Structures are given as C-alpha cells and as structure tokens.
Amino acid sequence: MHNSGFFRVFLIISTVSLLLDWYIFSGLKTLSADWQSPLWRNVVLFGYLFISVGVIALFLLGFGSFTTARGMRPFHEWVLSLFLTFFITKLFFVIVLSLGDLGRFFVGLFNLASQNNSQPVFPGRRKFISEIAVLAAAVPFTSMFYAMFKGKYDYKLHRTTLYFDDLPDAFDGFTITQLSDIHSGSFDNTEAMQRGIDMAKAQKSDLFVFTGDLVNNAASEIEPYIDRFGQIKAAYGQFSILGNHDYGDYIEWDSEQEKAANLEQLKQHHKALGYRLLLDENVTIEKNGQKISLIGVQNWGRGFKQVGDLNKALQGVPKDAFKILLSHDPTHWEEQVRYNATNIHLTLSGHTHGAQFGIEIPGFKWSPVKYRYLDWAGLANEKNRYLYVNRGFGFLAFSGRLGIWPEITVIELKKNT
C-alpha cells in the first residue's frame, strides 16, 4: 500500500472490532451458561471468536496487499464487505447488550442508595437480554449477506413519463433507456450481470444513453464485457458520457502519459461498445423531419472533477430546441443547469448509487447519501426543468446493494395536449 495512513485507519478500526468481540464474548457466555452440553457451548463461544478474528485478519491482510497503483479489485471489495457485515452486526449486538447492562448499573445504584443488602448490589446479566441481542444482530447479518449475494444484481426497472408543452409532435411517445455507473471493474458474476443487460435490451427504446463511470479506474476493466454491453441497441442510437471514475484519478500511474493513454483507450472502448461518446458537444436526433438536441458534457461535480463545459456543449444548439442533457453528477444540474438562461428540458445523471443502501417504499425514500446530495435518486423538477438521477447499474467498494437496487431507467416523453 502506497499510503500507510489508510492502513493505520484500518488497524484502528480492527482494534475497535476486537474490543467489541471481547464484550460480545461475555454476552455469549451469559447466553450459553445453562446449556447442558459443554461441547456446544465451546463451539459457539470459540467458533465465534475464530470466525470474527479470522475476518479481521483477512481484512488486514487484504488491504495490506492493496495498492493504489491498481485500485480496489473485487477481492478487496469482498474483504471490505465481509468486514463491514461483521462490524455492523457486532454493533447491533453490543447496543442491545449495553442497554441491558446500563439497566443493571442503574439498579445497582438504586440498591446502593437504598442500602438494600438482601441481594447483590449489581444484579447478574439476564439471559433474555443476550437472546434479544442475538435476534437484533441477525437482522443486519442476514440483510448484508443478501445484499452481497443477491441484492447487487437484483435489477429494477424504473419507468417515468414526462410531459412537455414544446415537445415536437414527432417525439410524442419517444422512449429513452438509461444506464449509469456500470463500474465494470467490480463485477464478480457475469451471468447475473447479463440479466440486467437483457432487461435493458428488452425495453426496445428509441434511444439508449449511458451517463458515466464505465470503469472503476482502468480502461481494461470493461474489456471482458464489451460484447455484452454492446448488445444494447436503439433505433436512434446509443450515446454516452464520462463520469468521475473514468479519468483514472483514483489510482497511481507511472506517468501522466500512461494516464492519458488509459483515457484514450477508454474512449476507444466506448466506440467498440457502439456508443457515441459526447465530450462537451451535442448531436441532433431527427424523427419525421422534426428534431431534438442531445447534449453531453464531461464530468462536472461539486467536490469532484470539474472539466465539463456546458457552454461549449450548447454551441450550435437552437435556442428553442427541445434539449436533453447527459451529465454524470447531479450537482451539475443543481449549480449550473436548473437556473441556466438556456432552458434544458431534461437532464439525465447518475453518480450517487443511492449509496447502495437505503429504504424506498411508496411515499418514503431515505438513504444516507441524502445528507450529501440534494437530488440522489429518481426525479426532480424545477419549474418544468427535470432531472432524473439513475441509481446505478453496478456497485463500488461495498460489494452489495440493500434497499437501493441496481436500476434500468426508461423515460417516455409525451406532448402536453
């Protein structure tokens, strides 16, 4: 690892995890104290320690081999995911157990104050508290494993219909399929991933767009999947833009020339996929003699790379044209698009992944990413200027998704009548 600071952080977190293990071990001793079989008691107690300490060791060894010259590979994502699963599970167990122990502490203080000598000052830990702790811990444990083995490939189709007064008549009913954030360097199950591609193909939309982050870092990551994603075709073409990860900024290169060559190779891969890569430029989509403008910018994001040039991308676009913008980061819409003097009817973004974790039920949507992004999943509207944020096709860092599932978006444009 090139940055020893990261390893120190991992070491501190691992030490905290070991301290949690010590406390959990005491709770498991209470749970198994009255078991008839000493063998099973030891299996539970020392089996837990063996597995938990083993995961910590794997975590340290895995990230000890991590190098910023290559970036996070699927192996590192799995190691991190296993560690997070056990760490969060431990926290749930410890919270419940500590609440029980806090109650014992206050009972002890009451006994001391009342000088009640008929019983121990601090009562023993009750078994049912440990049982509740186990049940509480089972919720994140099973959920996280579902997220890693099933959730990250549990593709969902999101359909949205948008109405516009000035949509050209020929485009009434025009459909767009959007994918975003493929992050091809993270895939670990090609056949499961193919189900998402098949779902996108099955929509048979008029237009296909991809809104950035084809790879995690290196252009080579998409190479095993070019034939698969190249299957997605649309009658009016396939178009794409770059995301923040596509520039290779998050790994170390031997030279700036090597980094530049990687980006150039990635651009060629877009061509091999059959995608027209829009680099601060626009194209005209024509249907039955009528036209709309499709605009694509390079990445521009608050707190991220800001190379996209919207003014350059708009050059040559008629003022009264119906405009669709592809821009990877939704903060670009927040800061430069929604109040722009030029009316851009619809912006399609991605980037946030919805944090790959959250809750989405009718009438309620929450994810921790909401504290970073104003618009982080789905549709936003500012005086009939729309933004749609795709939740992402792939995953990064945490090798899973829970509650915020991978997305294929289909948007239908309709003429207001």
Question: pLDDT at position 119, please?
Answer: 67
- Separation CA 182–CA 230 (nearest Å): 13
pLDDT band at 283 (very low <50, low <70, confident <90, very high): very high
- Whether the pLDDT of residue 2 is over 60: the answer is no
Phi, psi dihedral angles at 11 (to 5 degrees): -65, -40
What pLDDT, on the 0 to 100 scale, is given for residue 201?
Answer: 98
Count other Cβ atoms within 10 Å, centred on residue 263: 14
Nearest partner of 299 among 247, 242, 344, 250, judged by Cα:
242
Mean pLDDT of 368-381: 97
Phi-psi sector, 351: left (phi>0), alpha (psi -120 to 50), beta: left
Calculate mean pLDDT across residues 290-308.
97
Strand partners, 414: 163
Q: Of the given ranges (103-112, 211-220, 290-299), which has the lowest mean pLDDT?
A: 103-112
Write out pLDDT tens, residues 264-275: 999 999 999 999
Mean pLDDT of the chain: 93
118 — pLDDT class (breaks 50, 70, 90): low
- Which DSSP symbol is given to 300? B
180 and 351 Cβ atoms separated by less than 8 Å? yes
Rg, the chain, Cα only: 26
3-state SS class at 116? coil
pLDDT at 69: 59
In whole angstroms, give the CA distance from residue 281 to residue 279. Answer: 5
The alpha carbon dihedral of 238, 244, 250, 253 has a sign of positive
* Lowest-confidence region among 7-21, 88-102, 343-357, 376-390: 7-21
For residue 355, pLDDT over 60 is answered with yes
Q: What is the pLDDT of residue 152?
A: 98
Instruction: Examine the pLDDT at 120 and tell me if it is beyond 80.
Output: no
Confidence band, pLDDT 50/70/90 cuts, at residue 71: confident
Over residues 83-93, the mean pLDDT reads 96
Q: Give 65's pLDDT tier (boundaries 50, 70, 90).
A: low
Sheet holding 385-389, edge to edge: 281-287, 290-296, 323-326, 346-349, 385-389, 378-382
Confidence of residue 114 (pLDDT cuts 50, 70, 90): confident
Helices (H) and strands (E) in the chain, counts: 9, 14
Residue 202, number of CB atoms within 10 A of its CB: 11
57-74 mean pLDDT? 76
- Helix extents (H) in 33-162: 38-64, 74-114, 127-149
Residue 4: the pLDDT is 58
Share of the chain above pLDDT 90, in %: 84
Give yes or no for residue 412 having a pLDDT over 80: yes
